[in-house]
Amino acid sequence: MLYWLYEQLSAGGYIPVINLFKYLTFRTGLAILTAQLVVVALGSRFIRWMQARQGRGQPIRSDGIERHVVEKAGTPTMGGVMILAGLFAGTLLWGDLRNIYVIAVLVVTAGYGVLGFLDDYAKVTRQTTAGVSGKLRLALEIAVAAGATLMIVLWGNAPPEAPELGTSVAFPIFKQFLLNLGWFYLAFAAFVVVGAANAVNFTDGLDGLATVPVMIAAAAYGVIAYLVGNFVFAEYLQVHFVPGVGEVAVFCGAMIGAGLGFLWYNAPPAKIFMGDTGSLALGGGIGMVAVATKHEIVLAIIGGLFVLETLSVMIQVVSFKLTGKRVFRMAPIHHHFEKLGWAESTVVIRFWIIAVMLAMIGLATLKLR
């Protein structure tokens, strides 16, 4: 919004203060600050409002960690609404809303936020851990992700030297190699986005556990978006240049700010949970950023913690169905470590450390070409 205002005002001549709005780094920094302030400002009132309407709060798994049933019972959910308010405020205020990549990530984030909200609402009203039908939710997630990807394929800015970039997969290490999937790319991108959304959803099981790794991933992809969207840096690093995708850094900045604001209330002991409203939206948003920047494969590294959480669930289910035995004491894997006697804060902080390490490795792939 303010970027458009800058263009209108600067058309009449150079205005020193307004001219700052043209700098992507300046607007990204303000997106972080704006999103954080919006979430913190909403926090207390929103939490009280949700407590009054949700009564018993989010249902806690009866087969889970025993102390959680006592300690976390009555804590309201749908805190993702706060996160999305800050995220959209920061992006809409400081981003270029005509940019197709910004539009695509906002479409996915909003769509997944609505799906998550409906799931949370069903859980709270029915007081059960089962929400919207899994098959229906999955189908809608795929449709939203494929639709947003189609927008990028049709209206994205592929550079002249790589006109097939929109439907291709780039690989770390290799400089110029692209695997053109054609229209099958829509299915691949949907898999990346849906996988990221549900992986973050699995991770969101302890106070602050998902919030910080999401911010770390957003920071890493903010750097990637800025570099990939800048011809000089892309040429130097020998990564594929994606004209216009640098604007997504504003979205990533807003996600960091919204996460910081939410952590103020979600730090142990949490006053509110983000719920599926937040975890699906944030995971889907990160997944779509990975698609937009053509760094889908790197998401498996930067979001390695989320991958680990998802694999633990898959391994547990397959093992139990085939052998009747469980590999982990409880899945997702963060609960396994709690069962081993680790304190909740210990699990959370150590997982944060792992997330930082994986993000650094993921960023290092920019030079491995």
pLDDT digit string, tens, across residues 104-145: 999 999 999 999 999 988 877 776 656 677 788 999 999 999
Cα four-point dihedral sign 352, 357, 360, 365? negative
- pLDDT beneath 50, residues of the chain: 70
Predicted pLDDT at 174: 80
* pLDDT at residue 267, rounded to an integer: 84
What is the reported pTM?
A: 0.93
